[in-house]
């Protein structure tokens, strides 16, 4: 199950990055350990047949290019921090919207909250998610981007998979 | 006929992407307006003549679905074609939207998908380069 979810995380995230931000990505095998010091991260929580949180962290170096691509800007044009935050929130929103039906089935109904930029230390935030939720299952994948990395982490609370999807 | 379009999405980046796709589509664009939620969208519709609404679903203040419901209650807005562009993946929810007369485009989208969906919902004929 873990490998299957990890593969799905890589596939869905890579597909969204390619179609929305015109950036190609490659799964990195066996290297989930990340120093999040030079990354910006966003989270989105959801509730439905199962509940949880999706976290996406993108290297600071890659985010301006990714944002510029989404906005259709020339290489010479720069992006603001607000635009970069908005771009990351939109990316995680689309990844989440595409991921949940793949995992849970297209008939499932999820309520997805508005994405949030993680303003605190990312490692501390991830630690707090683990501590706040009992029976938490975590799935992580890392994608290599041109000049950076993208980490995608799925935290699921409670029983997973739900009995009716098994 | 130039099409006046209202784009309703809480993400400024997504509004810019939709607008860029519309400009690339070859459709005859007239005025374009942008709103960040359903409430602002309704206010824009009250102030401007709009031929087509492109809206997200999950937005703060007022969702796209609620905006569509309000439009259907309004004599001057009820017949405006609506295209929903959303990450919504539930077939149950998509069927609800379709029953309200909205066309649906799933994110991530391509400019071609936007063009073809608008042509269908607005009953625009002609070739793919936007000429009629």
DSSP string for A24-68: -EEEPTT-----GGGEEEEEEEEESSSEEEEEEEEETTTHHHHHH
Q: Which of A146, A24, A19 is nearest to A70 (CA)?
A: A19
Residue A166 in any domain: the answer is no
Q: What is the pTM of this model?
A: 0.88
Least confident window among A58-62, B29-33, B126-130: B126-130
Q: Determine the Cα–Cα distance for residues A153 and A54; give it in Å rounded to an integer.
A: 6
Count of other CB atoms within 10 angstroms of residue A12? 22
Nearest CB to B89 within list A16, A90, A101: A101
Residue A162 in any domain: the answer is no
More confident site: B131 or A5: A5
A79: nearest CA partner in chain B: B13
Model ipTM value:
0.83
Nearest CB to B60 within list A100, A107, A114: A114
Residue A112: strand pairing partners: A46
Q: Judge whether B87 is closer than 8 Å to chain A, CB to CB.
A: yes
Q: Determine the Cα–Cα distance for residues A87 and A98; give it in Å rounded to an integer.
A: 17
Among A23-27, A84-88, B92-96, B111-115, the range with the most confident prediction by mean pLDDT is A84-88
Q: How many domains does chain A contain in total? A: 1
Q: Determine the Cα–Cα distance for residues A99 and A112; give it in Å rounded to an integer.
A: 12
Q: Judge whether B116 is closer than 8 Å to chain A, CB to CB.
A: no
Residue A128 in any domain: the answer is yes
Q: Is the CB of residue B83 less than 8 Å from the CB of residue B53?
A: yes
Contact A83 B110 (CB under 8 A): no
CATH code, domain carrying A149: 3.40.1550.10
Residue A163 in any domain: the answer is no
Chain A residue numbers touching B110 (CB-CB < 8 A): 19
pLDDT tens for B1-46 read 799 999 999 999 999 999 999 998 889 999 999 999 999 999 999 9
pLDDT at A160 over 80: no
Q: Is the CB of residue A27 less than 8 Å from the CB of residue A141?
A: yes
State the nearest Cα–Cα gap between A47 and chain B, in angstroms.
13
B110 prior amide bond cis, ω within 30: no
Contact A93 B87 (CB under 8 A): yes
- A with B: how many residue pairs have Cβ under 8 Å apart? 64
Q: Judge whether B113 is closer than 8 Å to chain A, CB to CB.
A: no
Q: Which domain holds residue A82?
A: 2-157
Q: Is the CB of residue B13 less than 8 Å from the CB of residue A67?
A: yes
Q: Determine the Cα–Cα distance for residues B63 and B47; give it in Å rounded to an integer.
A: 20
Residue A150 in any domain: the answer is yes
pLDDT tens for A72-100 read 898 888 999 999 999 999 999 999 999 99
Residue A13 in any domain: the answer is yes
Residue A164 in any domain: the answer is no
SS3 B115: helix
Residue A165 in any domain: the answer is no
């Amino acid at each position: 199950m873990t490998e299957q979810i990890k593969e799905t995380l890589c596939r869905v995230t890579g597909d969204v990055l390619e179609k929305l931000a015109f950036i190609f990505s490659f799964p990195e095998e066996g290297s989930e350990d990340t120093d999040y010091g030079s990354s910006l991260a966003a989270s989105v929580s959801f509730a439905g047949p199962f509940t949880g949180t999706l976290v996406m962290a993108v290297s600071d170096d890659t985010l301006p290019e990714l944002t510029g691509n989404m906005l259709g800007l020339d290489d010479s044009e720069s992006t603001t921090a607000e635009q970069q935050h908005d771009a990351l929130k939109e990316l995680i929103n689309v990844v989440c919207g595409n991921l949940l039906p793949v995992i849970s089935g297209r008939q499932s109904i999820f309520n997805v909250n508005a994405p949030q930029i993680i303003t605190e230390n990312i490692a501390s935030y991830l630690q707090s998610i683990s501590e706040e939720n009992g029976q938490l299952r975590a799935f992580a994948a890392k994608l290599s981007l041109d000049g950076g990395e993208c980490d995608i982490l799925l935290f699921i609370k409670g029983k997973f998979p739900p009995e009716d999807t098994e | 006929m130039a099409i006046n379009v209202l784009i309703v999405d809480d993400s400024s980046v997504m509004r810019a992407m939709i607008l860029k796709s519309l400009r690339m589509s070859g459709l005859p664009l007239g005025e374009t307006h942008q709103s960040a939620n359903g409430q602002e969208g309704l206010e824009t519709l009250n102030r401007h003549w709009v031929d087509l609404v492109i809206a997200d679903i999950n937005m703060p203040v007022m969702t796209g679905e609620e905006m569509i419901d309000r439009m259907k209650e309004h004599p001057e807005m009820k017949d405006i074609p609506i295209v929903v562009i959303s990450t919504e993946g539930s077939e149950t929810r998509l069927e609800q939207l379709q029953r309200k007369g909205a066309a649906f485009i799933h994110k991530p989208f391509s400019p071609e998908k936007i063009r073809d969906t608008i042509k269908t919902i607005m009953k625009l004929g002609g070739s793919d380069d936007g000429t009629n």
